[in-house]
């Protein structure tokens, strides 16, 4: 069998995400960009920050881009600008990174957890409608929806925006994983009232530290967030018109992101190549990711579904022996986490799809620089292990 340790030992280590390969590709440009910031010394809100914001708006088709300190603060800036607080219900999928619901709970509002669709891992519109009814019954005031583009794939914005409109709710897309994706020919960043993303190093568009951004066409919202980003400033930061944050993106990170954004479109194409090759090699042995024809995923992760929790354990252990790293996103849905277990769910209890998938999903190495030969080695090993299950 191809997963023999001696074969693994003869191969270079396989990275789950290879940031070094990307760095080698653009190293001279990164060095020059960093040197320019060191030379001009405008470390806070230097000119690269505004340049990046313009380039991001042009890339995704949003009228306004506000860069900020990280993807979590991006979500918080929007909730602060919209005055979300106690008594308000905000609807989030339970199968996501904690930040999506954390920001809601920190404002004193109530995250209401929604189940996901079994094939796309994204918010289930039917469960969302159930959650809205549940929140009203509980005496909460529904105010907004936070769909997540899990693993890079856009949520079903047509269905979600329609439900939002009927119920007079805003939609904030948490595109920390989805930036670079498309839905009906439109880029993520222009699919909801407001969209947030993260530039955490491991995200599809990552910097070398923390960073994030908010995208919107709403000028009033943008202006309030621009004030909130710098301590609620009015004419300047010593004129404080509202209680705000220090939530700026560093100039150095903006300069780095400008160089990475220049190759981002090409990297998305390369991620699609990797996903296509995995799909072709694995679709007859395991449940491979389903991306509807009207969507393009940013492929933050390539996630498979094993037939059972035991099958997943075996697959992960044997892949590890063959030198192939895997990860589980996410081992436990938020409504089952200690910090969030007391918040309501769409059903008032279990969210069966999230709970089932948390036991069976696992992700394979995914990055734009994964070579075909390495993908084939991974595919061959997954196939060989799956055949024994």
Footprint on this chain of ligand PLP (rule: CB under 6 A): 70-72, 96-97, 99-100, 148, 174, 176-177, 198, 200, 210, 212
Report the C-alpha gap between 68 and 49 in whole angstroms: 9
Considering the complex, state which of residue 3 and residue 363 has its C-beta at the smaller distance from ligand PLP: 363
Longest dimension (CA), the chain: 69
Q: Supply the minimum distance, in Å, between the C-beta of residue 94 and ligand PLP.
A: 12
Helix, strand, coil shares of the chain, percent, nearest 5, are 45, 15, 40
Report the C-alpha gap between 371 and 376 in whole angstroms: 9
Q: Supply the minimum distance, in Å, between the C-beta of residue 143 and ligand PLP.
A: 19
Q: How many other C-beta atoms are found inside a 10 Å radius of the C-beta of residue 379? A: 18
Q: Supply the minimum distance, in Å, between the C-beta of residue 196 and ligand PLP.
A: 8
Considering the complex, state which of residue 172 and residue 311 has its C-beta at the smaller distance from ligand PLP: 172
Considering the complex, state which of residue 18 and residue 210 has its C-beta at the smaller distance from ligand PLP: 210
DSSP 173-223: EE-TTTTT-EETTEETTSSSSEEEEE--TTSSS--SS--EEEEES-HHHHH
Q: Residue holding tokens 């900020």?
A: 68
Q: Supply the minimum distance, in Å, between the C-beta of residue 254 and ligand PLP.
A: 15
Q: And the tokens for 22? A: 């990307």
Q: Supply the minimum distance, in Å, between the C-beta of residue 104 and ligand PLP.
A: 12
Report the C-alpha gap between 299 and 271 in whole angstroms: 6
Q: Supply the minimum distance, in Å, between the C-beta of residue 247 and ligand PLP.
A: 11
Q: Fill in the DSSP letter of residue 341.
A: T
Residue 327, SS3? strand
The closest of 109, 124, 76, 86 to 333, measured between CA atoms, is: 124
C-beta of residue 175 within 8 angstroms of C-beta of residue 197: yes
Q: How many other C-beta atoms are found inside a 10 Å radius of the C-beta of residue 318? A: 19
Q: Supply the minimum distance, in Å, between the C-beta of residue 388 and ligand PLP.
A: 33
Considering the complex, state which of residue 176 and residue 353 has its C-beta at the smaller distance from ligand PLP: 176
C-beta of residue 218 within 8 angstroms of C-beta of residue 193: yes
Question: CB nearest ligand PLP: which residue?
Answer: 71
- Strands 302-305, 361-364: pairing kind: antiparallel
Considering the complex, state which of residue 99 and residue 311 has its C-beta at the smaller distance from ligand PLP: 99
Considering the complex, state which of residue 102 and residue 259 has its C-beta at the smaller distance from ligand PLP: 102
Considering the complex, state which of residue 77 and residue 135 has its C-beta at the smaller distance from ligand PLP: 77
Report the C-alpha gap between 79 and 85 in whole angstroms: 8
Considering the complex, state which of residue 164 and residue 176 has its C-beta at the smaller distance from ligand PLP: 176
Q: Supply the minimum distance, in Å, between the C-beta of residue 279 and ligand PLP.
A: 23
Considering the complex, state which of residue 3 and residue 70 has its C-beta at the smaller distance from ligand PLP: 70
Q: Supply the minimum distance, in Å, between the C-beta of residue 386 and ligand PLP.
A: 28
């Amino acid at each position: 069998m191809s997963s023999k340790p001696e074969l693994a030992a003869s191969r270079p280590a396989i990275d789950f995400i290879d940031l070094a390969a990307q760095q080698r590709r653009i190293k001279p440009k990164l060095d020059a960009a960093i040197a320019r910031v060191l030379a001009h010394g405008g470390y806070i809100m230097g000119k690269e920050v505004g340049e990046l914001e313009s380039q991001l708006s042009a890339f995704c088709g949003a009228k306004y881009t506000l860069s900020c300190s990280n993807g979590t603060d991006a979500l918080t800036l929007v909730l602060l600008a919209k005055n979300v607080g106690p008594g308000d219900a905000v609807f989030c999928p339970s199968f996501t990174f904690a930040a999506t619901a954390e920001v809601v709970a920190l404002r004193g509002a109530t995250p209401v957890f929604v189940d996901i669709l079994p094939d796309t891992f994204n918010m289930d519109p039917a469960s969302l409608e159930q959650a809205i009814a549940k929140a009203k019954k509980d005496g909460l005031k529904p105010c907004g929806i936070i769909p997540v583009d899990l693993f890079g794939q856009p949520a079903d914005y047509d269905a979600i925006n329609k439900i939002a409109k009927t119920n007079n709710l805003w939609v904030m897309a948490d595109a920390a994983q989805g930036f670079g994706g498309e839905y009906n020919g439109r880029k993520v960043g222009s699919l909801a009232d407001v969209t947030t993303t993260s530039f955490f190093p491991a995200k599809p568009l990552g910097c070398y530290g923390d960073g994030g951004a908010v995208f919107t066409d709403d000028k009033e919202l943008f202006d309030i967030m621009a004030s909130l980003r710098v301590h609620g400033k009015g004419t300047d930061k010593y004129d404080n018109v509202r209680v705000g944050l220090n939530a700026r993106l560093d100039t150095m990170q903006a300069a780095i992101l400008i160089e990475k954004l220049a190759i981002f479109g090409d990297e998305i194409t390369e991620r699609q190549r990797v996903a296509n090759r995995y799909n072709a090699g694995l679709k007859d042995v395991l449940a491979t990711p389903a991306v509807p024809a009207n969507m393009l995923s940013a492929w933050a992760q390539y996630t498979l579904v094993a037939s059972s929790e035991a099958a997943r354990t075996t697959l992960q252990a044997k892949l590890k022996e063959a030198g192939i790293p895997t990860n589980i996103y996410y081992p436990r849905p938020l409504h089952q986490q200690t910090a969030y277990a007391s918040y309501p769910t769409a059903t008032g209890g279990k969210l069966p799809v999230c709970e089932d998938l948390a036991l069976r999903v696992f992700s394979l190495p995914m990055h734009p620089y994964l070579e075909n030969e390495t993908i084939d080695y991974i595919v061959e090993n997954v196939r060989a292990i799956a055949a024994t299950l």
